């Protein structure tokens, strides 16, 4: 006997089925456009604050929109940009490289020793420098992936080692007197835009293509999106990550070469301030610190924004120390914004 307290609904009585969400090609197309736009916004949304900032600087300082200043700004952006592109790729695989600034310095010193001290043909010096960076990157990668040490620790250690070695080899002095041809890498230009800017843009285009249109690029994203799942779909996770570390090290070395050519000087402390700027640019550009998400296009805009901040604050006579404070705070704000977005 059923309890009198409630009435059981007969099995035959059923309300109509509500409409369920189904996949419709037409709707998908519209949404695809929407997603495209919102994605484009995610990486190019930076253009608006950037434009406003430029406008403000143009109004408040007479110097900002001179050829010389813009050339300088882009040149600064180029060096940080080369570093940041490597960092973006690595962050996509859910790893981080704190040694990029130190590698930049060590590679510049390597170039200096080979080219200036040993009077070797300068292109070989470049090979030596980039080789140094790639080797350090591979060491970072192998120790991280094969021995299971967190990349934060590994690259903190190589940061110390690289800076120490660079200073030891040069006795803490700068190496200068690079041949003129080598210096052209940093000085040559076209229509007021210097070669390093072209190098950075070329690197950005190549890496963007790799990330979006190649199997390797999808492996980078997959490894960062879910390491275990990536392994089970046949991706060699340690190898892919090590490759990203090597790329990060190689990019840092390239930045060191450009810096040495530009300043006709190689010094172990070259890149010490660049780590902060590079990571700031990457997070401003929308790359996730938790892996699997990011783009070098966003990073490119982030780099220009960071360079503009430095440039603008210089023009406003703000001390470089305050500039560091500002960049640090921007990283913090972007971090907070990202974690709030993820929480939703």
Partner 1 sequence: MTLMVHAETLPKLEVRGLSKRYDSTQALFDVNLQFERGEIHSLLGENGAGKSTLVRIITGNIEADAGEILIDGAALRLSSPAVASELGIAAVHQELSLIPNLTVSQNLSIEHLPTSGGLLGRLAGVVDKRELKRRTRDTANRFREDWDPNALVSSLTPSQRQRLEIGRALSRNATLLVLDEPTSSLAPDDRDELYQKLRSLRDQGISIVFITHNLEEALEVSDRVSVLRDGRYLGSHRCSDLTVEQVVELMTGRQAGILFPRREIAVPKARPRLSVRHLSAAPYLKEVSFDLYPGEILGLAGLVGSGRTKILRTIFGTLKQTGGSIQLDGANLDVSSPAEAIANGLALIPEDRQTEGLFPSHTVIHNISVVAATTPGRDRSLFISPKRLQKLASDMIARLDIKVESPFEPASKLSGGNQQKLVLARWLAIQPKVLLADEPTRGVSIGSKVEIYRTLREQARAGVGIVVVSSEFDELVGLCDRIVLVRDGRTVGECTSHDLSEDDLLNMLLSHGRSVVGEREG
Interface residue list for partner 1 (CB under 8 A): 2, 5-6, 8-11, 13-15, 17-18, 20-23, 25, 27-28, 31-32, 34-36, 212-219, 221-222, 225-226, 228-236, 288, 292-293
Cα 246 from Cα 136, distance rounded (Å): 7
Cα 335 from Cα 341, distance rounded (Å): 10
Cα 220 from Cα 247, distance rounded (Å): 12
Min separation Cβ 241 and partner 1, Å: 14
Tokens for 288, please give them: 């996730």
Min separation Cβ 173 and partner 1, Å: 45
Cβ atoms of 244 and 90 within 8 Å: the answer is yes
User: Which of 142, 169, 170, 168 is CA-nearest to residue 155?
Assistant: 142
Min separation Cβ 7 and partner 1, Å: 9
Min separation Cβ 29 and partner 1, Å: 9
Min separation Cβ 101 and partner 1, Å: 29
Cα 66 from Cα 284, distance rounded (Å): 26
Cα 285 from Cα 69, distance rounded (Å): 24
* Nearer Cβ to partner 1 (179/217): 217
- What are the DSSP calls for 15-71, one per residue? PPPPPPP---HHHHHHHHHHHHHHHHHHHHTTHHHHHHHHHHHHHH-SSTTSHHHHH
Min separation Cβ 294 and partner 1, Å: 11
Cα 314 from Cα 321, distance rounded (Å): 11
Min separation Cβ 164 and partner 1, Å: 37
* Nearer Cβ to partner 1 (62/234): 234
* Nearer Cβ to partner 1 (171/228): 228
* Nearer Cβ to partner 1 (55/216): 216
Cβ atoms of 107 and 280 within 8 Å: the answer is no
* Nearer Cβ to partner 1 (167/218): 218
* Nearer Cβ to partner 1 (244/252): 244
Place of tokens 């705070």: 329
Tokens for 263, please give them: 């300043």
End-to-end CA, the chain: 49
* Nearer Cβ to partner 1 (124/205): 205
Min separation Cβ 227 and partner 1, Å: 10
Min separation Cβ 136 and partner 1, Å: 26
Cα 326 from Cα 336, distance rounded (Å): 15
* Nearer Cβ to partner 1 (29/202): 29
* Nearer Cβ to partner 1 (26/62): 26
Tokens for 149, please give them: 């040490």
CB neighbour list of residue 75: distance below 8 Å, 6 or more residues apart: 194, 196, 197, 262
Tokens for 189, please give them: 């230009």
């Amino acid at each position: 006997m059923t309890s009198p307290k409630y009435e059981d609904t007969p099995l035959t009585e059923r309300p109509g089925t509500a409409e369920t969400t189904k996949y419709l090609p037409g709707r998908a197309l519209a949404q695809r456009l929407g997603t495209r736009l919102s994605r484009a916004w995610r990486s190019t949304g930076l253009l608006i604050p950037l434009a406003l900032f430029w406008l403000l600087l143009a109004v408040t300082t007479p110097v900002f929109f001179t050829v010389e200043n813009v050339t300088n700004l882009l040149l600064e952006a180029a060096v940080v940009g080369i570093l940041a592109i490597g960092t973006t790729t690595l962050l996509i695989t859910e790893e981080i490289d704190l040694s990029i600034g130190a590698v930049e310095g060590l590679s510049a010193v390597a170039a200096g020793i080979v080219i200036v001290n040993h009077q070797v043909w300068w292109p070989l010096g470049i090979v030596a420098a980039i080789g140094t960076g790639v080797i350090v990157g591979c060491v970072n990668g192998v120790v991280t992936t094969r021995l299971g040490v967190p990349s934060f620790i590994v690259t903190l250690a190589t940061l110390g080692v690289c800076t120490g070695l660079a200073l030891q080899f040069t006795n803490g002095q700068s190496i200068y007197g690079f041949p003129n041809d080598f210096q052209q890498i940093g000085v040559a230009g076209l229509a007021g835009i210097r070669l390093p800017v072209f190098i950075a843009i070329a690197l950005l285009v190549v890496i963007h293509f790799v990330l979006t249109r190649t199997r390797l690029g999808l492996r980078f994203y997959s490894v960062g999106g879910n390491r275990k799942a990536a392994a089970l779909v046949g991706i060699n996770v340690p190898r892919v990550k090590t490759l990203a570390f090597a790329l990060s090290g190689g990019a840092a070395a390239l930045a060191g070469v450009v810096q040495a050519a530009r300043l006709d000087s190689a010094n172990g402390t070259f890149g010490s301030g660049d780590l902060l700027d590079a990571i700031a640019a990457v997070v401003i550009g929308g790359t996730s610190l938790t892996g699997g998400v990011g783009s070098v296009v966003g990073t490119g805009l982030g780099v220009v924004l960071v360079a503009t901040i430095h440039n603008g604050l210089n023009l406003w006579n703000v001390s470089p120390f305050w500039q560091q404070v500002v960049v640090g705070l921007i990283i913090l704000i972007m971090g907070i914004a990202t974690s709030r977005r993820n929480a939703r």
